[in-house]
Amino acid sequence: MTPQAIYISNWQLVFGLVFILAAGIMSMLHSLRLERDLLLGTIRTFVQLFALGYLLNIIFALDRVWWVLILFLFMIFFAAWTIRGRVGEKQITFFFPIFVSMLLSYFLVSYLVTAVLVGAKPWWQPQYFIPLSGMVIGNSMNAIAVSLERFMGELKKQRHEIETMLCLGANYKEASHTMVQSAVRAGMIPSINSMMAVGLVFIPGMMTGQILAGADPLVAIRYQIVVMVMLVGSTAIGSFMVVYLVRRRCFGSADQLLLRPMN
Amino acid sequence: MCKPPNSIIHFDNVSFSYPGDKILFQNLCLGIRSGVFYHVKGPSGAGKSTFLRLIIRLEEPTQGQIFFKGVPLADTHPPHLRRSILYLPQTPVAMDGSVRDHLLLPFTFKANQDLQKPDDIHLTEQLKRFLLDDVRLDDHVQTLSVGQLQRLCFIRGMLLSPSMLLLDEPTSSLDPKSATIVTDHIKTMCKTSGLTTLMVSHGDVRSRSLKYRSLMVADGLVRKISGRKELA
């Protein structure tokens, strides 16, 4: 086994709060009114991560495929829920299509990565499947939220362009083609950019973790490469599927735009 | 009672309201006669634009049905419906590209593949007809004035040979001279080719040479005003 990372004691964790305190003082001095969010964020970080730690311990110990899949399902559910809140569009409901498309595509991506690229046996081995699928979901969640925000924004902003095209005989796909392009691009660009900067500008979180845990950097970079390519693929699939599914809901049966300019 | 004869469009008990808003139209029963020029009037916010938008299905009735040439709109193919009923909104939209691109845009759509794409000679002729002689096909659309753009959008719509025109204040952004040109041209077309026209306008567009009628959109209703009453 590789050597363990140094244990961080409770007191050391509490000491870490000085950083939050510093941020809080800044907020008060400049009346940024972020104190409430800082407090809530700190509490949530502690509670959520401790809960996750214990949960993972239990799931690792149980070592059963069903528990791994249930956790996976929950992660997808919360990701879809977060996207729904972030996009905040009341006129169109899109929770269900996001949930289903994320579930299917990310299961496929995570499976390919653990079973083929990493070659874990069995493919659902919690130590591999949970963190890798978690990264897929977390990153694509951002990509999907960015894509959807952009898409809805463009549809509203370019309402006149879209209706002009519809009135000249375009169907809803033709009329919204450029908005789809711009939305999917917006979702994909961050993961492509991070492929450019990785290793030069930053050491990615997962690799950092492995190195801290004592892994050989040459092993860690291999994992990181797998993760980078996996994220590019999953953000692309996620953005495309979700924008396509949501687009159908933004137009009615007469190919008319349902999104109204208000709210 | 709700089946007027000879109508190209008829509203059968149509009600409409925007989601979460008050009722805009209630139980509309109305026939639009073929080959007639209708001047659509009414206070702002009364639903003149919505009335036109219902006909080309940019809005769908919350209740009732609208018929085009006897066919319920719900059974029509939206792209085909919209190219046979030309709707010109108040503000013309300039897409990126040249005047030629702008005019030929409809011919890039799948539903219009059966139409003959007009050549440059035809396009130039049309530009001249609307007093746009100083506009060349290779000019960028963004360099045109709003008035020129509005005329360009009108020309573009006419390339699809529609059988009906819905014009939402098409001359509001034009100078008086261009406005007269566009209005006169519409009237001529309406007369010679029997094009049914609904035109929202605040100005006086009456003409003796046309089968002219007025529609008043107000208080959730669309009423026909007889010529005599209007003159009184």
Residues A136 and A205 in one domain: yes
Residue with the two structure tokens 């009456």:
B206
- pLDDT band at A262, cuts 50/70/90? low
Structure tokens at B196: 């049914």
Size of interface A-B (CB pairs under 8 A): 75
Residues 6+ apart with CB under 8 A from A30: none
ipTM confidence: 0.90
The predicted pLDDT at position A263 comes to 46
Residue B230 has pLDDT above 80, yes or no: no
Rounded to whole angstroms, the Cα distance separating B111 from A262 reads 31
CATH code of the domain covering residue B53: 3.40.50.300
Task: Identify which of B92, B93, B90, B72 has the alpha carbon closest to the alpha carbon of residue B81.
Answer: B72
- pLDDT band at B20, cuts 50/70/90? confident
Residues A45 and A126 in one domain: no
CA distance A167 to chain B (A): 5
Confirm whether A140 is domain-assigned.
Answer: yes
Give, in degrees to the nearest 5, the angle at Cα A237 between A235 and A241: 115
B26: containing domain: 7-231
Please indicate whether residue B151 or residue B15 has the higher confidence score (pLDDT): B15
Q: Does B35 touch chain A (CB under 8 A)?
A: no
- Region A51-61: what's the mean pLDDT? 93
Name the domain count of chain B: 1
Percent over 90 (pLDDT), chain A? 67
Residue B195 has pLDDT above 60, yes or no: yes
Residues 6+ apart with CB under 8 A from B68: B8, B9, B55, B76, B81, B85
Window B:9-28, CB contacts with A under 8 Å: 18-19
Residue among A161, A163, A169 minimizing CB distance to B112: A169
Name the domain count of chain A: 2
CA distance B80 to chain A (A): 6
- Region A246-254: what's the mean pLDDT? 92
Percent over 70 (pLDDT), chain A? 98
- Region B192-199: what's the mean pLDDT? 86
Q: DSSP secondary-structure letter at B73?
A: G
Q: Are strands B212-218 and B7-17 parallel, antiparallel or unpaired?
A: unpaired
Task: Identify which of A179, A94, A194 has the alpha carbon closest to the alpha carbon of residue A135.
Answer: A194
What's the pTM value of the predicted model, to 2 decimals? 0.85
Task: Identify which of B135, B76, B206 has the alpha carbon closest to the alpha carbon of residue A254.
Answer: B76
Q: Does A161 touch chain B (CB under 8 A)?
A: yes
Rounded to whole angstroms, the Cα distance separating B51 from A80 reads 39
Give, in degrees to the nearest 5, the angle at Cα A221 between A217 and A224: 135
Query: How many beta carbons lie within 10 A of that of residue A1, not counting itself?
Result: 4
Average pLDDT, chain A: 90
Structure tokens at A59: 């799931």
Residues A76 and A175 in one domain: yes
Residue B157 has pLDDT above 60, yes or no: yes
Residues A55 and A160 in one domain: no
Q: Give the CA distances from residue B216 to residues A236, B46, B203, in Å, rounded to whole numbers and listed in that order.
A: 52, 10, 14
CA A252 from chain center: how many Å? 29
**Are the beta carbons of B110 and A164 separated by less than 8 Å?**
no
Rounded to whole angstroms, the Cα distance separating A159 from A60 reads 51
The predicted pLDDT at position B229 comes to 47
**Are the beta carbons of B56 and A160 separated by less than 8 Å?**
no
Residues A70 and A188 in one domain: yes
Query: How many beta carbons lie within 10 A of that of residue A57, not counting itself?
Result: 10
Identify all chain A residues contacting B110, using CB atoms and an 8 Å cutoff: 171, 174
The predicted pLDDT at position B15 comes to 93
Residue B214 has pLDDT above 60, yes or no: yes
Q: Does B231 touch chain A (CB under 8 A)?
A: no
Rounded to whole angstroms, the Cα distance separating A66 from A77 reads 16
Residue A1 has pLDDT above 70, yes or no: no
Task: Identify which of B169, B155, B196, B131 has the alpha carbon closest to the alpha carbon of residue B48.
Answer: B169
E strand residue ranges, chain B: 7-17, 23-33, 37-41, 63-68, 71-72, 85-88, 164-168, 196-200, 212-218, 221-225
Identify all chain A residues contacting B82, using CB atoms and an 8 Å cutoff: 166-169
- Of A62, A96, A111, which marks where a domain is finished? A62
A154: containing domain: 65-250
